[in-house]
Amino acid sequence: MSIQIDKLSKKFISYKKQPGIIGSLKSFVNRQEFVNTAVDEFTLDIQQGEFVGLLGPNGAGKTTLMKMMTGIIVPSSGHIRIVGYEPFQRKKMFRKKIALVMGQKSQLWWDVPAYDSFMLLQKYYELEFKSFKSRLDQLSELLDVTDKLHIHVRKLSLGERMKLEIMASLLHQPDVIFLDEPTIGLDVLAQQNIRKFLKEYQKEHNTTIVLTSHYMADVQELCSRIVLILGGKKSFDGPIEKFESLLGKEKFVHFEFSESVNPHKDFTFFDQFDPSWSNDFSQVDLRIPETDLRSATIKILQDFPLINYNCEQLPVERVMKALMEKPGVISE
């Protein structure tokens, strides 16, 4: 078992203070304590080689959970073991077995070439130089950044820096990788390149990877399992296919017409599929049950001036939006 979490909780205590000098003086006598429960009795088991997506809205507790799994912060209660170690003890062997990539924080020195940072990491992880150099050459070739290793990091593009950040985290060949928004701010091509690399790397090395991302394309392409956290609690844990079906066995289909559809004549047919129309009634999004998809599409093709349509195969983003608006939708 790579990751074992049992009833893990983290509470942050802060104090309220009224403004001004009088407020400061009052706080000395009677401080108002405020407790924020970021993670609440969270339980999770992840097997070696799984690629798991950890999802949730801002403030749900994802990053706090990730920091507890990597030992950055200490839990308030509960138990956690990562590859057999308690993360908050930060033992040397534990640090050699994990890696953390944060899209909004850099571990590379800004004013020196990435190669210099890699040399420092080689000493930090006590890597034999020959194997370090071989791994560096392999990763730089796979990520297509061989010609970027000796350029100052601050002069590189965001996509190039992100590739080098991932390289820095993989030099010691960790057993578990934590990815916190690894594609944030990247263009579509850079995102695709990083996803392709991560998919191939995980498959080749059977590495356990936990991913948090607000880009649902990352989750859909990489993760086979989804864990949803809402308000610090685990709300869903299962295969991505099951997650997609939480709102039912419908398909989200977008139809475009060459002209506006007559609202008085034609809407009785569309109303049964929860339609969302464009302002000029020339486009519509429908939620069609799988059993009715064929017949409904045929009728629209025959009776309406259809010029284009698209069936959404993996509606993870729609499910996430619905769950954030109405958490009670989940019923396990």
Where are the domains positioned within the chain? 3-244, 250-314
- If you average pLDDT over every residue of the chain, what do you get? 86
Q: What is the pLDDT of residue 332?
A: 45
Report the SS3 class of residue 62.
helix
Cα(322)–Cα(235) distance, rounded to whole angstroms?
A: 14
Q: Is the pLDDT of residue 169 over 80?
A: yes
Q: Enter the CATH code of domain 250-314.
A: 3.30.70.1150
Strand partners, 35: 13
Q: Encode burial over 169-178: b for 16+ CB neighbours within 10 A, e otherwise.
A: bbbbebbbbb
Q: What is the pLDDT of residue 79?
A: 94
The residue among 10 and 317 whose pLDDT is bigger is 10
The residue among 314 and 214 whose pLDDT is bigger is 214
Residue tagged 């091509």 (tokens)? 189
Q: Which of 188-197, 216-225, 243-252 has the lowest mean pLDDT?
A: 243-252
Q: Enter the CATH code of domain 3-244.
A: 3.40.50.300
Cα(326)–Cα(329) distance, rounded to whole angstroms?
A: 6
34-36-41-43 Cα dihedral, nearest 10 degrees: -160
pTM, two decimal places: 0.78
Helices (H), 226-283: 240-244, 263-270
For the segment 316-332, the average pLDDT, to the nearest whole number, is 62
Question: What contacts 159, CB < 8 A, 6 or more positions away?
Answer: 186, 187, 189, 190, 193, 194
| Tens of pLDDT, residues 16-67 | 777 877 777 777 777 778 888 999 999 999 999 999 999 888 888 888 999 9
Q: Is the pLDDT of residue 243 over 70?
A: yes
For the segment 62-88, the average pLDDT, to the nearest whole number, is 92
- Is residue 146 a contact partner of residue 138, using CB atoms and an 8 Å limit? no
Question: Which residue type does 209 have?
Answer: I
